Structure 1
């Protein structure tokens, strides 16, 4: 993901996020979702204690009480805000509309934190004789507090293989799968995909049909006919969505067939069906968009 700031980001950065003005059910859903961000370059977690100050606020912009609480916290460039809903109408903080599109939310959070890191770095450089790491703390008074881990290396739960000769589709799938704690690999053609599936066990394979060389139908047959790979769920992706094309996919042994462009709801339903570790969160997101 590209950022506008000239401050580079490397490794995994953990940020404390406070949700403000949401119901208990909404907080539970948000917490479940953010727990899945551990492998992203920027990951978000709730404060471990009341002494841990937030790096960023996520505020219910449809709640007058939430807006009031946000104003009491006095957010600034070093600890910004992202609204969900309408916002407060008087500030320039970004707003993510309801129903929530999760990738848009993550993009806004990441953009705001990238800008905050740049501001902290500039402030650190402008203050002399203060041994304070501004990239990790938003207030100089925090400099004596214990440092949180800067790198988070969460262990992936399930492995996913995306097979498509289109770089655009691979980038789309990378972005859509990023919020979930999957180990995601990519292959540009069927021959490479078969070799990868033989060498590593995948819970789910997202498979394009129209590829140079071996097409998706042939790849699916090979995967489903091998004792080593037949347990992998195969989800075919194709711009061909006629009944005949779907029949060919079923005959080849695929477990599901998604038309291109893939809708977010269909992808979430597929994730909930074939990737158990993300089932509860995916279903909860779908319920919020109904």
Structure 2
């Protein structure tokens, strides 16, 4: 399921965000991959099932077009098959392609992933292609109109709402999503793609609230939460765990880790607002607009219905 129009990508302050889309599945066509490469790609598909965007294998058939290609640059037969496909389908010449191999051939243009192929590295690169080239961002926690209104109010006041927030998620689309949700109400907004990067930021900065994905490379979100809550220098940081499901096991592990609450992805705008408003210190909550001041009852038990509406490099994003 492709996104029809490419869009600009926000990788730092002042650039435009990609277009929003409700499409969540993107097809990936493999050409010339070895059995081992295919196994890695299958693992990428499996991991992406709990994420947005979701990646799925493409089955070649008349009238169908893949959203992305992964081509083995080490295999002449694979390169020839890819070139033949492009010649036969000139209307699909701009379909993004990721080449994998030991060395990039001099005549190849496009993204290149060197071997050895690592599942999370390949997944992160494919997700970046979906956002950067295909212009995809999942359904936002705060819709575009609402987010622009809040940001406008903050600029008119000369500042954000005073919130210092940290987002820890290895998914670029999720970081884009949370950036848009928070940028109108935060005076400081930092991002990390792993728990280790987050701990480095936490050692040098104070945050009012941290949004932490459960599934992270290296230390997982539970371990990061435990370290935050066990460190007297940063234990006042509210931790919101981000999860793709609401299983009892997730709740129990989150409570044992000391998290303040959790949000089930994709996140409803109103639930997001209420949780943020509830967790902020009172002196900061008073500077928020009314919709964010009202506490949410029993925040740790927030659940979203199945049809709920559901950022971008690591580092700092300070609000002007």
TM-score by length of 2: 0.42
TM-score by length of 1: 0.46
Structure of greater relative contact order (alpha carbons < 8 Å, 6+ residues apart): 2
